[in-house]
Amino acid sequence: MKINLINFVLFQIGWFACVLSAANYIPLIGLCFAIIIMFIHIKLSSNPTNEIILLIVAMVIGLVWDSFIVYAGWINYTSGMMSNYLAPYWIIAMWDLFATTVNVSLSWLKEKTIIAMLFGAIAGPLAYYAGYKLGALTFTDFNMAMIALSIGWATFTPFLLSFSDLYHHYIQNKMRVTS
Q: Tens of pLDDT along 74-111?
A: 999 999 998 999 999 999 999 999 999 999 999 999 99
The yes-or-no verdict on residue 172 having pLDDT over 60 is no
- Residue closest to 162 by CA, chosen among 61, 89, 74: 61
The yes-or-no verdict on residue 55 having pLDDT over 70 is yes
What is d(CA 41, CA 52) in angstroms, rounded to the nearest whole number? Answer: 10
CA-based radius of gyration for the chain: 16
The yes-or-no verdict on residue 130 having pLDDT over 80 is yes
Q: Using a cut of 0.85, tell me whether the model's pTM lies above it.
A: yes
Q: How confident is the model at residue 144 (pLDDT cuts 50, 70, 90)?
A: very high
Mean pLDDT score, 20-38: 98
φ, ψ for residue 164 (rounded to 5)? -55, -45
- Which pLDDT score, from 0 to 100, does residue 165 have? 82
Q: Which whole-number Å values give the CA distances from 31 to 149, 154, 173, in the listed order?
A: 22, 25, 36
The yes-or-no verdict on residue 177 having pLDDT over 70 is no
Helices 142-178, 89-102: inter-axial angle, 10-degree rounding: 50
First and final C-alpha spacing in the chain: 34
| Percentage with pLDDT > 70 across the chain | 93
- Which pLDDT score, from 0 to 100, does residue 166 have? 80
What is the chain's mean pLDDT, rounded?
93
